[in-house]
Structures are given as C-alpha cells and as structure tokens.
Structure 1
Amino acid sequence: MSTPVTPYAAPTPPVPAAPQPDAGLRSFLLAWLFALFLGTFGVDRFYLGKIGTGVLKLVTLGGFGIWTLVDLILVLTGAARDKQGRPLDGYARMRGIAWGVTAAVVVLGIVIGSVNGSASPQGDTADDGAPAAEAAVPGAPAEAEPAPEKTAQPEATAATWANEEWGVFDTETHTGTGDGLITLPEGAAGGLVTAAHNGSRNFALSVLDAGNSSTGELLVNTIGSYTGSTAWGINALGDGTRIQVTADGEWTITIAPMGTAPTLASNGAGDAVFLYDGGAAALTTTHDGARNFVVIEETADLFNIGLLVNEIGAYSGTVPISAGPSVLAVTADGNWTLAIQ
C-alpha cells in the first residue's frame, strides 16, 4: 500500500507593509517657545532634530540675530518643519495665542527701549556758529534751475524681476537611476526644478550647501512615481550648491531660471510654480488630495509673510494675495484650483 503524498503548497508572497501614519510629530508650542526665548542658542533647531544647523546657529549666536528672527517667523507662519519635513503638531490650535504673545513681547521690548532712550542726556543741537545765508543782490534775476528730465522706465514683469532676483543661467537637464547628486548652476541663487521619477519607494530632493549641510529646502519628499515643479532658493537658510537625490527608480531633473516659470494657472495637479504680475487681490483655492497642501507667495517685499495656505487633505478657502511681481509655489498631491478675485 503506497503512502499518500501531500500536495506541495507554494509559499504566500509577503504583503508589503501599509504606510504608517505620521507619528511623533514635534510640538508647535515647544518649537515656538524655544524660537522666541532661546532661538539665539539654536534650541529650536535642536528640538526639531536639525543638529548641524543648530550647532551653527549656536556658535553664531543666532546668525547675529538675523537667523533667530527668520526661524521665529517660519514657526509662527507654520512653515517650520522637523528634520523629516513634517509639519508641527498643534499649529492650528495655538497659532493665535503664539502671535498674540509674540506681539506683546515685541511691544514690551520697544517700550523698554524707548524709556531707556528718553532717559539718556541729549546734547544741545543749536549751532550758534553757523554761517549766515548769502544775501541776495537787489535787482538780480533769480536763476531758475532746470527741471530734471524724467525718463520713462519700462515696468518690470514678474519674469524680469525673478531673473534679477535669482539669476539667469542655461537650462540643464540631468538623468539618473537611484541616489545621486546634482551640482546647481554656479552663481545662481535659485531657480525652477522640474522632476520626474518612476520608482516605487521614497523619492526626495534636498538642497545642500558647500559643506553638504541642508539649507532647509526639502523640495520633494514623496513615495512612488512623481512629476512636478518646485522652486529652489525661496526662504533658504544658506546658499545651495547641489541637490541630493534619493530615489529607487529612474529620474529626470531639469533646472531652469526662475523667470521661465509659467504665469499663474487656474487649475492643475501636484507640485507647481508660477509667476504672478497682478495686483493685491483675493485668492480662492481648492484641493482634493490627502496630504500636504501649501501655497507660498514670494515677493520683492522683505517683510512679506508669504505662507498663504498650509493644510493637510482637502481644502477650500479664500486668502489674501500680495501684488506682484511674485512667485507662487504650490505643494500638493491632488487636483487644485487657483482663482484671483
């Protein structure tokens, strides 16, 4: 009698692990307090996991105050990210309180400075030894100075302004597979980065300075295939010299002057960069994606806070937009609309 043979069963292929939701987000409240009171010593950057730039900020005493102010503004506007590029937890709940307390601290500092200044002795400003004005000769005709000629200056467009602001260079296209480094155009302060990736794992583009430290610009950070445009050189904490590419598939990256970006479009999908020439207006926008939706406007105004939208998931709302010329950078994973009203 023969022994029964058990049928061979092929092993079940492993099932890829489902993406895990974000965990361990850094607290907006702590990051704001550290930036406000201990930013000079880089405590806020240490808290966000950015050890390298934290040490640099410490030894330069907050970049002689300028870096401290920049980081505080980034935290208050919701633009600050941790080392992994994730937004801070609790920004929507605490931003009103943070702005109010920060304003109170600034006003208190101004008042104290004014009181100390008024208590200082003031010197006599009278100048008794000033020479008398030259007397006019009676009957002499007054010499009329010719009015300066007014030369009409052409109004700058957003493309002209962008090229003057970040520089002009020859457009470059780079291709590769897997991780790599791309040298940025020499002498340029920023530009348009258009990328495509056909892999299935993490795809990231990070801007590095001459010492291979991050400039704080994480242009792309996604999983799988990608197509989109981002802006390099906006709100950077250093001069970018190369782009670090993290990928598992083939990629194509084109680097072009900022002035080559298209004019503002009414709709689209994914990351995009546009030029805006219009006046101050209301911007109505929507998004149907599931991840970060961010709209930033970079203008010629040094004190302009350009974070117009910073949300996660679906969004619909109207926000103020400043007058151009300006650059609008959209970060999205779904379809979006932009309407000027």
Structure 2
Amino acid sequence: MSHPGPTLPPPPSDYTTYGAPQYANGQLLDGQNAGQAYPGQYGAFAGQYGAEPQKSFLVTWLFSLLLGVLGVDRFYLGKIGTGIAKLLTLGGLGWWALVDLVITLAGKQTDKTGRPLAGYAQHKKVAVVVTVVFLVVNLVIGVFSGIAAAAIVRQASTPPIVTAAPVTSESAASDPSADPAATGEAATGEDRPHLAAQTLTGTGDAVKTVDLKGVPAVVTFTCKACSGNTVLETNGHEMLLVNAVGAYAGSHLVDTSTAATTELAISADSAWTLKIEDIDSVPTSTDKASGHGDMVLYWDAFSDKAAVTNKGEGNFVVQGFGSEVPELAVNKIGDYNGTVKLTPGFVQVNSDGDWTIAAK
C-alpha cells in the first residue's frame, strides 16, 4: 500500500509586490492591518522617499501680496510657465495678481502637483486682516499722492500774478484821491515787487543775466538790421521766445509760472535791443485790439468770447492768462478767422502778420 508523499508548498504568487501587504491563505500576516500604508510601496504616500513637502500658505500669501505682480508666488509654487507670463504682463496689469491673492486667501491655491498649501487653517484669519489693512493703507496713500501731484501740476501751470490787471496811468488818474501804492495793491490782489524798466543792448550773440524778482514781466526784443536767424531764449518756463529769420520786433510775457527767469540768451547777426518792463506797462484793450507781429495786451472785455483774425503765413498763436489755467485760444498756421473763448486778462499774441481781436 502506497503512502502519500509530503505536500509541496504553493507556488509563489505572481501578484506579490515588494513592500505590499502579504497574505497567507487569504489572511493578513500577524501585525498587519487592512489598508495599512507601507513606505516602500511605489508612489503611494507623501511620506515615501523623495517626495517634496507641501508648500507653505504663509510664504505663498506674502509673495502674492507683496510681489504678486512679478509672479514670485507662482515661481514659489513651481508653476514656472505661468510665473513667467505673470512677470512679463506685470501681473496682468495688476488684475491677475489680485485674483491670485484672493484665491490664496480663500484656500483654493495649490502647488504644481495640485496639493493644498500647508498652514492655511492656522494663518488664514491673520492673513485676511493684514491684507485688508495693507490694501486700505495703500489706497489712502495713493489718493493723497494723487491730490498732491495734481496740486503741484496746477501750481506749475497757474500764473501766480499774471491774471491781475495792470495799473495804468489812466486807472490811477480816474480817482485823484487814490494812493498809487494802494491802487497797485488793489489791482494786483497782493503786495508784489514791481520791476524798474531796464534796457539791454548788444551786437551778435550774447547771454545776459537778469533779476526779474520772481514776478511776471514783459520782454520787448528788437533787431531791425538782422538778416539771419534771430533767436531769444530764457532759462525760465517759456524757454523759446523768438525764433525768426531776418529783422524782428515784438513783445513777450515771461515768468507766467513759478519758474523764474535769470538768463536771456540772444542769437543775432546785428545790433539788438532788449527792454524789460513790469506787467503794469502792458496796454489795455476793451472792445477791440489790433496789431502786427508778437504782442502782449490786457484784454478787459465784457465777454469771454472773441472774434479773432490773422493775415500771415507763419504760426498764429493766441494764449490767454485770465483763468486759473492758461487758455490756448488759437494755434494755427497762416490766415485765421474764427470765434474763440478768451477769458479777460493778459493775452500773448504770436504772429508774423496783422491780427485783430474783437469782443463778441
């Protein structure tokens, strides 16, 4: 009678993998639990060898808040492509940076692998409060900076005294009992220094130092025998007063803003005369004014509308200083005929021909 031989062990399973739970006859080995995580199992767990730690919510939020327009937050999260795009567009002109900041504060931001940020629950309240305070403070600073910039621009473009009416001999004579000094203060609206008339002469190119006391003045330049380029420049706000060819005679306002003139540069090929006078010397016109070439006048009309004509070939410019901001009423080339707004006050006319200004 034959005896059974020894029982052979079962063949090894084709499904056994390194580091995975091992079973014997369908049962877990001693010390194993169903669903237990094994560090050696390939690609399954965050704690496995070589896996990166989660990105910090706190660091991401600070980068997004302070350097979001440069894409630093996305570079930190490993999103290099969108980080470069964000950098090149300056955070989508700010909108992309703002959206990323909101997403981060809402806890929806992830790293390049889609994992959430570490520390969101602990720091979200502080991050939201600090962000709101930061944005409000920057908004207030921006508003005040805008107001300050507007005030500086307005101050630079507003003539400080040139809007005042000149004190003429006729206005002083109309009231024999009026004190001349008091009349001057009343007309100008403040006690300002008055310039004594001065005349400078020369031949050819020259640079003259002048003291205009920081107030508007009238400069009359004459070069009757000039045949080449004739130029008159200042180092003040107006810069280029005369740029003509041949003989020239005309008047110009200088220092209509806060930039004070201290030098006058002349370029001429003949003898010239430069006369500097206070703005009180400007002639006053009421209903109609006419002239030839460059001229300064005080427009004391009953209306802020004027009919303007010009007969010439070059630039024709009419600039008024009666309002807080200078008015460029006309800026044309050649002949002109039209009606424009011209607030009563000082007026600078630039022309190479005959012109008229009549109240409407």
Please give the TM-score of this superposition, normalised by the length of structure 2.
0.47
Higher RCO (CA-CA < 8 Å; seq separation 6+): 1
Please give the TM-score of this superposition, normalised by the length of structure 1.
0.49
